[in-house]
Amino acid sequence: MTSTRRDVLRLLGLGAVAVAGVPGCSLIAGTPQPQLLTSAAPLPRPYAVPLPVPETAKPVRSAGGADFYELTERAAEVEVLPGLRTGIWGYGGTFPGPTIEARAGRRTVVKLVNQLGEPTVLHLHGGHTPPESDGFPTDLVAPGASREYVFPLEQRAATLWYHDHRMDYTGPQVWRGLAGMFLVRDAEEEALPLPAGERDLPLLICDRSFAADGTMLYPGLEGRPGVREAYMGGVLGDVILVNGAPWPELRVARARYRLRLCNASNARTYELATGGPLVRIGSDGGLLAQPRTVRQLRLAPGERADVVVDFSAYKVGQQVELRNLAGEGAQARVMRFVVDRDEKDESSVPERLSTVEALDPGKAKVTREFEFSSGGMGWLINGKPFDPKRMEARPRLGDIEVWRLTSDVAHPVHLHLDHFQVLTVNGERPQGPPEWKDTVELREAQTVEIVTRFTDYRGRYVLHCHNLEHEDMAMMAAFEVV
């Protein structure tokens, strides 16, 4: 990693013509687009590797109504591609990191120990978190140091995930392996007859590319100046990984399974489908009010969705592919389920799941504008690159606000601190009752209005694009709740 975002911004100060001359950039209306890295390593045939399930972290202690965990970041070598060793940076030396299962309303304290050679930052994506524990991108944990992150978890049950959030370097550090799942549970959800236990599966989906020796490829890690900015539109891998395994296979019973889908890719958007019905029961912020049956599901980077798949609709011996309709060739495959047995199944999906409060935009104190665009200074919000000292907004604690987001090209936008509801997409109201989100995809030349309410905590937070290369190239804005 030879060039920082600030170096790139100086280069890009020459203007859009300079960007157009960067090798490896394809342009639509002068804007860099995501670039695919091609692996040189021998790749396994699809569905030759069993699906791994990350271990569930155990608290090192519990006291005073809190559970205490320890995550040690360290370099390790693991087998991602069969027969090859791949160097990673991992929480606990694994990729993905261990899954943390916590309870809503019970304080969870995570001690991050950095045994890497670079600073890191921990962010609980989707967490309703005090500012000192939110992972502000300049709140660095230096090599050899540690920091405690306190998560009160005053929020609904939901599928969250945690990952590195270091300013300028989130892309390469997440790519190397610094990501894991974080499940919040509560009594309301546990009272429902949804699939549970081994039939409640976290599936962290991402893409990577590999050199001939199994090393992860990423622009700039090779030490060639200028390579990283050539990929500022986003980095795409040609190998789809689920829980760290390439195109894996899982043997399942003829029963319902809950799949907790998390798009942990740097820049790739997925259109997920099995060829059969997917019953969507949850979004970024937890359960929907009612289940919704869909044939395919779009997830931009950072987004999550909980779906129930009923494998009793298939015969023993049948195979069910989870495919990516937005991909081509090998990138159109994700994983495969093989139905291999009959088992008793007492689960069901009730017609009513939860109560979701609808925020009233008529009570908004202010409507704010956030324009996501490219320019002579790289990726910008409201015409400016990220400055951690500049507050782009100062919402008041307890206030409802409407934020209007507009884009040039596609940008998955992530809001820290509080979840939001989508009001309109290009002026049209979305179908169905409201749901809680923390990441929303802005497609090309699109305007999305969201409504949110800032609660519980005052302090600094960020709004940013979750295409991690866009984020590293300055597409982030700080705001302060006052």
pLDDT of residue 174: 98
User: How many whole angstroms separate alpha carbon 272 and alpha carbon 324?
Assistant: 5
Confidence of residue 220 (pLDDT cuts 50, 70, 90): confident
Provide the percentage of residues in the chain whose pLDDT is more than 70: 92
Exposure of 212 by Cβ count < 10 A (0-12 exposed, 13-18 middle, 19+ buried)?
Answer: exposed
Of the listed ranges 79-93, 104-118, 210-224, the one predicted with least confidence: 210-224
190's enclosing H/E stretch is helix 187-190
pLDDT at site 203: 98
Residue 260 neighbours by CB under 8 Å, 6+ apart: 159, 181, 183, 200, 201, 202, 203, 282, 304, 306
Contact 425, 446 (CB under 8 A): yes
From CA 299, how far away is CA 429, in angstroms rounded? 19
Q: Which two tokens stand for residue 265?
A: 């890719």
| pLDDT computed for residue 17 by the predictor | 25
Residue 169 has pLDDT above 70, yes or no: yes
Using the Cα atoms of residue 31, residue 229, residue 208 and residue 306 in order, give the sign of their dihedral. negative
Q: What is the pLDDT of residue 443?
A: 96
Banded pLDDT at 378 (limits 50, 70, 90): confident
- The confidence band for 2, taking pLDDT boundaries of 50, 70 and 90, is very low
pLDDT of residue 1: 42
The pLDDT of residue 229: 75
Of the chain, the end-to-end C-alpha distance in Å amounts to 37
> Residue 289 in contact with residue 433, Cβ under 8 Å?
yes
Identify the helix (H) or strand (E) that includes residue 257.
strand 256-263
Return the higher-pLDDT residue of 10 and 19: 10
The mean pLDDT value for 333-339 works out to: 98
Which residue carries 């608290």 as its tokens?
A: 59
The DSSP symbol for 60 reads: S
Q: Are residues 349 and 281 in contact, defined by beta-carbon separation less than 8 angstroms?
A: yes
Residue 204: count other Cβ atoms within 10 Å of its Cβ. Answer: 25
Check: CB of residue 160 under 8 Å from CB of residue 302: no
Check residue 222 and give its pLDDT.
61
Sheet holding 278-283, edge to edge: 245-246, 239-242, 200-208, 256-263, 304-310, 278-283, 286-294
Are the C-beta atoms of residues 227 and 220 closer than 8 Å to each other? yes
Both structure tokens of 455: 């609660």
14 pLDDT higher than 80: no
Residues 45 and 268: their CA atoms lie apart, in Å, by 21
Q: Say which range, 75-84, 221-230, 355-364, has the weakest mean pLDDT.
A: 221-230
- What rounded mean pLDDT belongs to the chain? 93
pLDDT confidence tier of residue 118, bands split at 50, 70 and 90: very high
Given a cut of 70, whether residue 28 has pLDDT beyond it is: no
Q: What is the mean pLDDT of residues 39-57?
A: 97
Cα–Cα distance, 87 to 107 (Å, whole number): 34
Cβ(34)–Cβ(444) under 8 Å? no
Token pair of 159 as six digits: 């599928």
The Cα angle at residue 274 between residues 271 and 277, in degrees rounded to 5 = 100
DSSP letter for 49, please.
S
pLDDT at residue 223, rounded to an integer: 57
Least confident segment among 21-35, 102-116, 243-257, 420-434 = 21-35
Residue 362 has phi, psi (to 5 degrees) of -65, -20
Residue 7: pLDDT above 60? no
Pick the residue with more confidence: 206 or 29? 206
How far, in whole angstroms, is CA 94 from its chain's centroid?
A: 18
Position 423 scores a pLDDT of 98
233 by Cβ neighbours in 10 Å (0-12 / 13-18 / 19+) ranks as buried
Span 84-108, average pLDDT: 98
Residue with tokens 């590319």: 209
Question: What is the three-class DSSP state of 17?
Answer: helix
Q: Is the pLDDT of residue 22 over 80?
A: no
